[in-house]
Amino acid sequence: MGSRLIGYGSYLPEKIMTNQDFEKIMDTTDEWIVQRTGMHNRHFAADNETVVDLAAAAAARALENAGLTIDDIDMVVCATTSSELDFPSVGVQVLGRLGASRSQPAFDVRGACTGYIYALHCARAFFAAGMHHRIMLIGAEKMTRFLDFNDRSTAVLFGDGAGALIFEHSSSGYSGIIDTVVMADGREFDMLHGTPDHKISMNGPETYKKAVTLMPEAASYIMEHAGITADNVDWIIPHQANLRIIQSGAQRLGFPLEKIVVTVDRHANTSGASGVLALSYALDNGIIKKGQLILYPAFGSGLTWGAALIRI
């Protein structure tokens, strides 16, 4: 039993924070940020805008795109690590926001930047088990909650946003979420984690080294598992952490850069929302077309890493 993508949507907060805006508040330059990360802009949520606001806005757009209402959805899986409330889950709050009335299940997946791959992994398993007909997958983050403007090495890297995808059960195993693989190594906790006072602790160079190895490894593993080669893949949507990491990964896999979807320049790193936002962007702009095969590698705090294969 497989699935097919029947709707998508995204939401980005109105405020755009440019590299030049950072130049005014800390010791940094547009040149440093662009050269080291490929980032130009990121969206910053308003102070009173919550992760649930972002998630619900993206979910509403995905429902509109699919021509459905929230009661047509059988389960909501939300990838997020930045919820303001410890409970209930963002997924359940989205049900409330959108007026769901049929008690369908909803929960969050905390996989940091690999969160949306973990969420896809869950959705694939539920489809394979034949347990749910329509699943909405949301990636939503307000990373600005964690930013320390006294730490220039992390403050410039992140942005806020949300994306939502709706998958429906299909008898074809060759559409929708075709395959997923997720991994974790808790021994690497120190490299990148949240602190008790809600800040980001990151060893940038070490994280970089891991990222350029683990994303290509996950991509190679899933291609081998699915019995395909790079030539069969139409687009790669890597986790949008840093343009240099993306380019290095593409080179290791022998993928031409023209096959890579890049949004890190405009959204920066939106963690668990990154890949879902990037797919929405690519669909909205006619970059990815129906029938195409997408390879989705990601990595993040944990360390966690993984990949998914999706046919649109």
Annotated catalytic sites, by residue?
113, 239, 269
**Amino acid code (one letter) for 230:** A
> Least distance (Å) from ligand ACO to the CB of residue 37?
5
If one asks whether residue 37 binds ligand ACO (CB under 6 A), the answer comes out as: yes
> Least distance (Å) from ligand ACO to the CB of residue 148?
12
Residue 102 CB burial class (10 angstroms; 0-12, 13-18, ≥19): exposed
> Least distance (Å) from ligand ACO to the CB of residue 288?
23
If one asks whether residue 113 binds ligand ACO (CB under 6 A), the answer comes out as: yes
Q: Could you say which of 241, 260, 273, 308 contacts ligand ACO (CB under 6 A)? A: 241
If one asks whether residue 240 binds ligand ACO (CB under 6 A), the answer comes out as: no
Distance CA 157, CA 33 (A): 9
> Least distance (Å) from ligand ACO to the CB of residue 26?
7
> Least distance (Å) from ligand ACO to the CB of residue 16?
18
- Cβ distance 51 to 80 under 8 Å? yes
Scan residues 288-307 and list those touching ligand ACO (CB under 6 A): 300-301
DSSP readout, 246-295? HHHHHHHHT--GGGB---HHHH-B-GGGHHHHHHHHHHHTTSS-TT-EEE
If one asks whether residue 271 binds ligand ACO (CB under 6 A), the answer comes out as: yes
Q: Centre a 10 Å sphere on the Cβ of residue 83 and count the other Cβ atoms it contains.
A: 23
Q: Which is nearer to ligand ACO, 88 or 194 (CB)?
A: 194
Tokens for 162? Answer: 């949300």
Length of the chain (residues): 312
CA of 88: how far to CAs of 93, 256, 270, in Å? 7, 43, 22
Q: Could you say which of 67, 99, 196, 205 contacts ligand ACO (CB under 6 A)? A: 205
CA of 87: how far to CAs of 83, 134, 207, in Å? 9, 24, 30
| Residue 56 DSSP label | H
Number of residues that bind ligand ACO (CB under 6 A): 23
Residue ranges binding ligand ACO (CB under 6 A):
28, 32-33, 36-37, 112-113, 152-153, 156, 192, 202, 204-205, 207-208, 211, 241-242, 269, 271, 300-301
